[in-house]
A and B are shown apart, each in its own frame.
Chain A
Amino acid sequence: MLYGPLLVWLLISALGPFDTVQGPSSKLLYVHVPTVWIAYLAYTLTFIYSLLYLIKKNPKYDSRAVANAKSGVLFTGTTLIAGSVWGKFTWGTWWVWGDARLNLTAILLLVYLGYLASRRFSDDIAKTAKNSSFIGIFGIIQIPILHFSVIWWRSVHQQASILSQETVSSGDAPMSPDILTTLLISVLLVTLVHVFLSKKYRITADQIWDDYLNPKSRAKI
């Protein structure tokens, strides 16, 4: 179930239409944009589940928070790599150190890597889970800063094409309909990839919690 959408997504990205000025490298749009949107989504879910875990103390919320963060980290990494390659083709460089959006995305990745690392500080999961939840909750602040960075600060990065005020208010995205359709299908497929991937991670996390709460279940094996 995981590899189906993944494969179709890669095929669509490879065969999809591209911007005539930028050339075939602009197909990275179908990788770069959906993956960063899913990273936004995943971290938002991590935020919600971390909050629920702190309030209700139910391990199932913690498992969901971790699962989403893991998937989010993978997608943030993908978006950075795809963006970097795309930057090489259009801007003429892999990375622009002075650029707000690029740096903020790198920090976003580091924070959630930190979130995942913070869970390994101690074997006492209940304790680390509580502490990690704070990172999961406060980490969300970065998403709006990141998203509006291209509007607030001058950047080499282009502004949003879909999630921009103009597009949302006029309902008319600044791209050809075939590119837009391919992009939206990619978003749908990547969402599916995220759903299945985070489910996989959630099962692993649930297992770890189960071993922690019922030590005997492990002894049986």
Chain B
Amino acid sequence: MKKNLFFILIGIVIIVFASIRIASNNTIYYYTTTEANYLSTSSNERIKLGGFVVSNSVVKGDLGVTEFSITDGNIIMEISFDGFIPELFQDEMGVILDGYFNSGIFYSDDMLVKHDNEYISEDGEVYNVENYKE
């Protein structure tokens, strides 16, 4: 009886510890372009870089390489992407890219599209940021 209780408590402690640990390990799941600006020159290490696609910056190059820029509203960075592009990829969409810096350009082959928490239907009212903030 006491033994069972002991195992259960141990289990709970492990679970809570593991949850916090797993989540905290990814405290910086991706870097913003401003943060990456401090890292870029230092190494060729693979990092995850997040930002919004700059309007009209997407250029489909030869050999399947797509070039575009992303920004966090502060620093703009050039991306050279060669890989699977999710359907939602478009101007002003948030993306998280996995890759490395080489002479100021971020080379990536793995992209995630990060959608925000706004849902606007076709015949619904257009959601207005100004109204939202009052």
Residues of A participating in the B interface, judged by any CB pair closer than 8 Å? 17-23, 26, 29, 89-93, 96, 98-100, 103-104, 107, 111, 114, 118, 121, 127, 131, 134-135, 138-139, 141-142, 145, 149, 152-156, 158-161, 164, 166, 170, 172, 174-179
Q: Which residues of A contact B5 (CB under 8 A)?
A: 131, 134
Contact with A along B121-134 (1 / 0, CB 8 A): 11111110001111
Q: How many chain B residues touch the partner (CB < 8 A)?
A: 50
Considering only CB atoms, which chain A residue lies closest to B122 in the complex? A20
B116 at the interface (CB under 8 A from A): yes
Q: Can you report 16 residue pairs joining A to B where beta carbons are below 8 Å apart? A: A20-B120, A22-B88, A92-B88, A93-B112, A127-B1, A131-B4, A134-B8, A138-B12, A152-B23, A153-B23, A156-B29, A158-B116, A160-B117, A161-B119, A170-B134, A172-B132
B68 at the interface (CB under 8 A from A): no
B111 at the interface (CB under 8 A from A): yes
Q: A20-B121, A179-B124 are in contact. Are A153 and B111 (CB under 8 A)?
A: no
Q: A21-B88, A149-B23 are in contact. Are A174 and B9 (CB under 8 A)?
A: no
Considering only CB atoms, which chain B residue lies closest to A91 in the complex? B112
Query: Cα distance A99–B11 when bound, in Å?
Result: 23
Considering only CB atoms, which chain B residue lies closest to A174 in the complex? B118
Check A177–B125 contact: CB distance below 8 A. yes
Check B114–A91 contact: CB distance below 8 A. yes
